[in-house]
């Protein structure tokens, strides 16, 4: 640790998954100085699709056409669910701000509207989601109408099989054909990787050769589906070139993780927060966090920075995720919060963590374990009081939700980050509503 006085910030965000990214972005949008610590979390494994709320109640696996009607049902069924505690206008504002910022960073989404959309997955199942990247949106229309359509994959790309998607959909989409082609310049390679293809398609000549190989396969196709490899940083340009070259709508289908859309989302979020002046420590973790009640400031000790680093912040947002993010850990007896040892709401005994049927539709109690907060998103200590007046918690570390089953991963992250940053701005005197 150096002898320099520590840098001081309005807000320190711990975590750089979807919740941490949203919190850093919304802090900067509110004019607050911000440092963010942590790596990209689950974003790398995500599909680029931004779920708001697809399933409610999870035990019935009821799918909703409108995420806002689903939210109304959630508020009645589970008023303690974190998403049910965020006002709908705030959720709308949070998503609009998020997709506007992503668009400015080069990753454009279709206008959000009031409806969920159905998209094809890499295994031919149908996923309900809310925010859809522009490069995938023609697939939503194709899936709705099911016209003659061509799916194409590339020999050697293991993460995606057009044949499997067509087989899974079977006679529910009779006009769906599939073909496999060689990726130009890779004819001798046994195995291909999505990120390499995406980079290669940013080169005009490779793109033109690929389009030429696709043209003779078109026949009566009204649309063409491809694995999500249409560029990394320049997806808009590559996608437009395919549509112009083929003369029909072209859509991407996310491949298995780690997918190119996940890489794009992470890159766009990193670029969006950096462009707004957020100081990022993406190789570092917070080793210790202490609160000075007199000064009204928190001190964070970072590791993973040469020589270590200490920073001081007036507010702290904990966005450290669950077990994979390492915000929560579990030993043989109980679930713990990793950084501060905060109380975790959890089943009374390990025996009740899981149901005997792994696929039970009601899910497992352990997935709803997490932090309890007060109405201002401040984690509570053992006596039920806020741990510190300006410590906030957002995203999947929160209790009373099972984001995987509800299909609300990004929604939970984005909405709670927005609501918590409203509270931060209110306390610090930023420009509140963003």
x/- map, 167-206, ligand FAD, by CB under 6 A? ----------------------------------------
Q: Shortest Cβ distance from residue 14 to ligand FAD (Å)?
A: 5
Q: Shortest Cβ distance from residue 119 to ligand FAD (Å)?
A: 9
Could you say whether residue 161 binds ligand FAD (CB under 6 A)? no
Sole window of 47-55, 78-86, 102-110, 229-237 interacting with ligand FAD (rule: CB under 6 A): 47-55
x/- map, 334-373, ligand FAD, by CB under 6 A? -----x----------------------------------
SS3 content of the chain, % helix, strand, coil (to 5): 35, 20, 40
In the list 28, 33, 35, 41, the residue contacting ligand FAD (rule: CB under 6 A) is 41
Question: Burial letters for 160-186: b for 16+ Cβ neighbours within 10 Å, e otherwise?
Answer: bbbeebbebbeeebeebbbbeeebbeb
For ligand FAD, give the closer residue by CB, 31 or 45.
45
Helix (H) or strand (E) holding 240: helix 235-246
Could you say whether residue 13 binds ligand FAD (CB under 6 A)? no
For ligand FAD, give the closer residue by CB, 186 or 298.
298
Helix (H) or strand (E) holding 11: strand 7-14
Distance in angstroms (rounded) separating the CA atoms of residues 141 and 134: 12
Q: Which residues, in sequence order, are CB contacts of 53 under 8 Å at separation 6+?
A: 64, 67, 70, 71, 74, 83, 130, 406, 407, 408, 411
Distance in angstroms (rounded) separating the CA atoms of residues 272 and 267: 9
x/- map, 392-421, ligand FAD, by CB under 6 A? ---xx------x-----xx-xx--------
Q: Which residues, in sequence order, are CB contacts of 348 under 8 Å at separation 6+?
A: none
In the list 13, 32, 38, 207, the residue contacting ligand FAD (rule: CB under 6 A) is 38
For residue 111, give the nearest of 132, 87, 80 by alpha carbon. Answer: 132
Per the DSSP assignment, residues forming a β-bridge with 329 are 336
Question: Which residue shows structure tokens 């077990």?
Answer: 323
Alpha helices in 126-203 (DSSP H): 137-145, 162-169, 194-200
In the list 11, 12, 13, 14, the residue contacting ligand FAD (rule: CB under 6 A) is 14
In the list 11, 50, 198, 235, the residue contacting ligand FAD (rule: CB under 6 A) is 50
Render 45-88 in DSSP notation, one character per residue.
GS-S-B-S--BSSGGGT-B-S-HHHHHHHHHHH-TTSGGGGS-H
Could you say whether residue 159 binds ligand FAD (CB under 6 A)? no
Sole window of 92-100, 111-119, 323-331, 381-389 interacting with ligand FAD (rule: CB under 6 A): 323-331
In the list 325, 370, 430, 434, the residue contacting ligand FAD (rule: CB under 6 A) is 325
Site residues (CB under 6 A) for ligand FAD?
A: 14-20, 37-39, 41-43, 45-47, 49-51, 257, 285-286, 319-321, 324-327, 339, 395-396, 403, 409-410, 412-413
């Amino acid at each position: 640790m150096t002898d320099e006085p520590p840098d001081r910030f309005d807000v320190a965000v711990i975590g750089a998954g979807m919740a941490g990214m949203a919190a850093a972005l919304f802090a900067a949008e509110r004019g607050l100085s911000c440092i963010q610590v942590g790596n990209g979390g689950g974003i790398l494994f995500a599909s680029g699709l931004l779920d708001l709320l697809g399933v409610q109640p999870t035990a019935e696996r009821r799918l909703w056409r409108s995420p806002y009607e689903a939210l109304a049902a959630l508020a009645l069924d589970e008023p303690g669910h974190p998403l049910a505690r965020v006002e709908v206008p705030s959720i709308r504002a949070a998503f609009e701000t998020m997709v506007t910022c992503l668009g400015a960073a080069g990753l454009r989404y279709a206008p959000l509207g009031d409806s969920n959309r159905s998209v094809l997955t890499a295994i031919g199942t149908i996923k309900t989601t809310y925010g859809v990247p522009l490069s995938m949106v023609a697939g939503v229309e194709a899936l709705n109408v099911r016209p003659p359509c061509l799916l194409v994959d590339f020999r050697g790309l293991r993460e995606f099989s057009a044949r499997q998607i067509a087989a899974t959909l079977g006679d529910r989409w009779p006009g769906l054909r599939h073909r496999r082609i060689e990726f130009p310049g890779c004819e001798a390679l046994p195995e291909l990787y999505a990120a390499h293809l995406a980079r290669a398609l940013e080169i005009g000549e490779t793109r033109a050769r690929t389009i030429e190989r696709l043209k003779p396969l078109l026949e009566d196709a009204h649309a063409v589906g491809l694995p999500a490899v249409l560029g990394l940083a320049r997806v808009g340009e590559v996608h437009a070139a395919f549509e112009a070259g083929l003369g029909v709508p072209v859509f991407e289908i996310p491949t298995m993780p780690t997918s190119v859309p996940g890489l794009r989302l992470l890159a766009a979020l990193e670029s969006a927060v950096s462009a707004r002046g957020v100081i990022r420590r993406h190789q570092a973790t917070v080793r210790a966090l202490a609160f000075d009640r007199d000064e009204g400031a928190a001190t964070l000790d970072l590791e993973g920075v040469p020589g270590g680093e200490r920073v001081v912040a007036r507010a702290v947002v904990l966005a450290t995720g669950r077990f994979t993010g390492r915000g929560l850990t579990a030993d043989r007896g109980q679930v713990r919060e990793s950084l501060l040892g905060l109380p975790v709401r959890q089943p009374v005994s390990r025996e009740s963590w899981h149901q005997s049927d792994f696929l039970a539709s009601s899910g497992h109690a352990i997935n709803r374990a997490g932090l309890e907060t007060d109405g201002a998103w401040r984690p509570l200590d053992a006596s039920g009081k806020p741990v510190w007046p300006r410590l906030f918690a957002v995203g999947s570390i929160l209790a009373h939700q099972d984001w995987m089953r509800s299909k609300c991963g990004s929604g939970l992250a984005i909405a709670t980050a927005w609501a918590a940053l409203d509270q931060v701005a209110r306390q610090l005197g930023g420009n509140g509503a963003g």
